[in-house]
Amino acid sequence: MSGAPPLNAVDRTWSRRSAMRLAGIAAFCAFSADHAQAQAQGTIRFGLTPVFLTNDLELLNSLQAYLAHATGYEIELITRRTYQEVTALLVSGQLDAAWICGYPFVHYRDNLELVAVPNWNGKPLYQSYLIVGADREATSLAYLEGDIHAFSDPDSNSGYLVTRTLLYQQERQPEIFFRKTMFTYGHRNVIRAVASGLAQSGSVDGYVWEVMREIEPDLVNRTRPLRKSEWLGFPPIATSRVLSHSPRIEALTKALLSMAEKPEGERVLRMLRLTGFEAADPSIFDGIAAKVALLRGVL
């Protein structure tokens, strides 16, 4: 367990991560031998952040098979424990594309381009849920003061940024408002923590909560949403600006945008509970950008 950093450390935290991770990786590994070999062999290196889908081997295999068939390239799925690790690989050029979160996309908007954005229930939007135990008598954020609170990842919009911004707007600090905080590094793990009583409340991706309610109802029904955020840009698939017009990315974009039109692609979408992918305008992430700006003291 660890306390959340002070509010005025948000920008410094990003800067420190950039200095310690991205600069070092870019200098030493940006054009690594593995990536050069993958390009030579016609391979798309596709990164996945640690959301619920990385725990589903059947889904990963189906996604890999569809993308390989639709793009004509071999697909190498790359997973890491944290959002930061995947984003660092993407920005430094070691991944061709990655399914990331809107928070790091906003932060590295000058370095990244959208490939496609998933549609959930027909829209490229989702919500952050603030969850508590199903039987808990709590009706607002104020009831959660003194809780042990589970966040997903410090670079997650729905699993961290939304709740942190909400507290900031009420002139509260997470490390003071909550008795303790933890990062579970996975939205599924946030749900498990609250359902088991390890945490008394949590911040989680609403899409993941809703899908898991279908897949693991006995677990998820031990929790309930206390608050749902406004609709925000769904976690996108992005690429580095340098690679955005490469044949690999063009093939990947076409495969994603046409996924709903192909039986094997439709099967993957059903497993994901998505209705498709679209070429969304980056402005759908303006709501997330406003939260980042607020915490930086810009607004």
Q: What is the pLDDT of residues 76-131, one digit of tens each?
A: 999 988 999 999 999 998 999 999 999 999 999 999 999 999 999 999 999 999 99
Q: How many domains does the chain have?
A: 2
pLDDT at 13: 46
Q: What is the pLDDT of residues 121-132, one digit of tens each?
A: 999 999 999 999
pLDDT at 264 over 60: yes
Q: Which of 229, 251, 283 is the last residue of a domain?
A: 229
Long-range CB contact pairs, 263-272, < 8 A, 24+: 264/62, 264/65, 264/66, 264/69, 265/66, 265/70, 267/62, 267/66, 268/59, 268/62, 268/63, 268/66, 271/56, 271/58, 271/59, 271/62, 272/53, 272/59, 272/118, 272/211
Provide the pLDDT for residue 12.
Answer: 43
User: Which CATH number covers residue 273?
Assistant: 3.40.190.10
Same domain as 97, residue 192: no
Read off the pLDDT band of 51 (50, 70, 90).
low
User: What does the pLDDT read at residue 54?
Assistant: 55
Whether residue 140 is found in the same domain as residue 99? no
The last residue of one of the domains, among 185, 204, 229, is: 229
- What's the pLDDT score for residue 296? 85
